[in-house]
Amino acid sequence: MFSLTRSGLSVSVAVVFEALLVIMFGAVVDRLPRRRVMLVADVVRCGLALLMVQTSTIPAIYALAFGLALAGVFYGPAYQALLPVVVPGHVLGRANALSWSAVQSSHVLGAAIGGAAVAVVGPHGAFVLNAATFLISALLLLRVPEPPATEATARPRLRTDVRHGVAFIGADPFIRRLLAVQVLAVLSVGGTGALLVVLAREQLRVDEADFGFLVAALGVGAFLGPLLFGRLVDRTDSAALIFIPYLVRGVIDAALAFLTGFWVPAALLMLYGINTSTGGIAYTTLLQRRIPAGYRGRVFSAFTMVWQTGRIASLALAGLLVDVLSIQAVYVGAGVLLVAAGLLGLSALSLAASPTPTDPDGPVD
């Protein structure tokens, strides 16, 4: 946008427009049965993946990829909003832990299966396989019990729902603080995740094989976190489980900036992964419990927008810092941001016990 207009205002307007658009998607999710939204999103993604097989032009491929991403924007908030409706509250943390583990496993297995599929049946066959996974997901969703319908009431206009969503976020001091914490966190992790390969080469001085094992250690930690601490999330409602992992991860990032070799960084990255998944489960569970059912789609969409926008900004900033200063500066700066995020969150623990703002437009399940 800036390269086309040379205007900082135009970039700001684009970001604000994106934010409102994402919250509007969340408002749509809040107006409709969540399971139905997920079903439609899966069927749409199945069809778009099959169309990829028949497409050869770059513009069409980009259009289909955009459609796949757009369907995912609806699916994610609907899933987060539906889970606390179909899962008993006393096991919600464990349900989120299983969900996190499934996602981590799918990332690892999906990449391996996708690569093998391309090698065996070619890219077209791989897209057919991808389409089949969405179809299987839709069929499995048919087995999820439909939440009981609430009494039909007149819904306000979509723009009114969007305004209510923004007002709800603004009226909840804990949600506002959690958004600020998320901004600090994503400005840290967006860059360090992408530049881990630079750290491995320039600071840790490991070869490509060892770098692969470092990434694997991070993934193993992320997988172990839910298994080790999923029950703990159900036993306590303390928001400290969200913020303490930020402190641990910040210290690890700063330490990695000064270490060399393989074993100690590998152990630290595994610990980093454990804290990432544990904090993520606690964060998701707390939001699901705190936010009224009728607002979950809009609030989760807002958090997704903040995360994705911040990740892009983090990548740009980290790339600039590594060229101007060093990879050490990137990781030390990232560590400072994560520690600041953790301290900011811990200073707001009393806000987590504050009452949730009144829900003016009622729940939609």
pLDDT confidence of residue 258: 92
Please state the pTM of the whole predicted model: 0.74
Residue 243 lies inside a defined structural domain of this protein: yes
- Asked whether the beta carbons of 84 and 287 are under 8 A apart, the reply is no
Q: Are 87 and 221 part of one and the same domain?
A: no
The radius of gyration of the chain from alpha carbons, rounded to an integer in Å, stands at 21
CATH of the domain at 250: 1.20.1250.20
Q: Are 345 and 266 part of one and the same domain?
A: yes
pLDDT confidence of residue 151: 45
- Asked whether the beta carbons of 206 and 200 are under 8 A apart, the reply is yes
Helical H segments across the chain, by residue range: 2-5, 8-31, 34-53, 58-86, 92-141, 158-171, 173-194, 196-199, 208-235, 240-256, 263-290, 296-324, 327-346, 349-352
pLDDT confidence of residue 10: 41
Q: Are 127 and 251 part of one and the same domain?
A: no
Q: Are 141 and 194 part of one and the same domain?
A: no
- Tell me: the pLDDT tens digits for 252-299? 999 999 998 889 989 999 999 888 888 888 888 888 888 887 777 778
What residues of the chain score a pLDDT lower than 70?
1-28, 30, 104-105, 107-112, 114-115, 147-159, 161, 237-238, 352-365
Cα–Cα distance for residue pair 284/239, rounded to 1 Å: 11
Q: Are 187 and 305 part of one and the same domain?
A: yes
Q: Are 166 and 256 part of one and the same domain?
A: yes
**Domain carrying residue 260:** 159-354
- Tell me: the pLDDT tens digits for 172-182? 888 888 888 88
Q: Are 218 and 134 part of one and the same domain?
A: no
Residue 220 lies inside a defined structural domain of this protein: yes
pLDDT confidence of residue 268: 92
pLDDT confidence of residue 321: 83
Q: How many domains does the chain have?
A: 2
